[in-house]
Each structure stands twice: as C-alpha cells, then as structure tokens.
C-alpha cells in the first residue's frame, strides 16, 4: 500500500493527463511511481525526459547492458527500502 495516494488517472488535471498519455505511448503503462508523483507534474515530465534521453536512446543503439544495470539499481533500491514491487 502506498504511503502517498495515487493520482486518479480519470480525474487528473490536463497538465498531468498529457504526461500520463506520454507514458502510455512510451512504455505502454502509467507506472505507479508516476501516479503517485502526478501531484508534481514537473517530476513526471523530468522522468519521462530522462527515459527518452537515456534509456530509449541506449535501447536504440543496442546498449542493453546499460538498461540492465539501471533496472538492477532500481530493483536493489526497492529491496533495500522494503518495497513490495
């Protein structure tokens, strides 16, 4: 259970809704992290920009090892913080 409430995807303000749509187009989903941080649209926008500039570019160039290490760091941080997902 999240400590902060998630933004409701149906009733989000327009500035957040378009970011959620970008996430769906980029990754096929709106991650819980985005729904939680939807109250801070600048955070979601910055994260999407980081993903486009780093992760997607690395995938396009075939640098899979970078993406694997990034995912490993995310999983490790979640485990250290006792996150369930």
Q: Give the span between the Cα atoms of 25 and 5, in whole angstroms.
A: 24
Would 6 be classed as within a structural domain? no
How many structural domains compose the chain? 1
Would 7 be classed as within a structural domain? no
Would 1 be classed as within a structural domain? no
Is pLDDT above 80 for 3? no
Would 5 be classed as within a structural domain? no
Using one digit for the tens of pLDDT, what is the confidence trace for 4-36?
788 887 778 888 888 898 888 887 888 888 888
Using one digit for the tens of pLDDT, what is the confidence trace for 61-78?
888 888 888 889 988 998
Q: Which two tokens stand for residue 25?
A: 């187009």
Would 60 be classed as within a structural domain? yes
Mean pLDDT, the chain, whole residue set: 84
Residue 47 domain boundaries: 14-80
Phi/psi-derived region of residue 4, left when phi > 0, alpha when psi is between -120 and 50, beta in every other case = beta
Would 54 be classed as within a structural domain? yes
Tell the residue number behind the tokens 């090892």, with chain if given. 65
Would 2 be classed as within a structural domain? no
Is pLDDT above 80 for 2? no
37: number of CA atoms within 13 Å, CB side? 15
Share of the chain residues as helix, strand and coil, in percent rounded to the nearest 5:
70, 0, 30
């Amino acid at each position: 259970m999240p400590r902060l409430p998630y933004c409701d995807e149906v009733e989000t303000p327009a500035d957040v809704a378009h970011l959620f749509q970008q996430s769906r187009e980029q990754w096929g989903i709106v991650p819980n992290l985005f729904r939680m941080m939807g109250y801070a649209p600048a955070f979601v926008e910055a994260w999407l920009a980081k993903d486009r500039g780093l992760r997607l570019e690395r995938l396009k160039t075939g640098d899979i090892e970078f993406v694997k290490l990034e995912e490993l760091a995310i999983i490790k941080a979640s485990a250290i913080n006792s996150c369930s997902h």
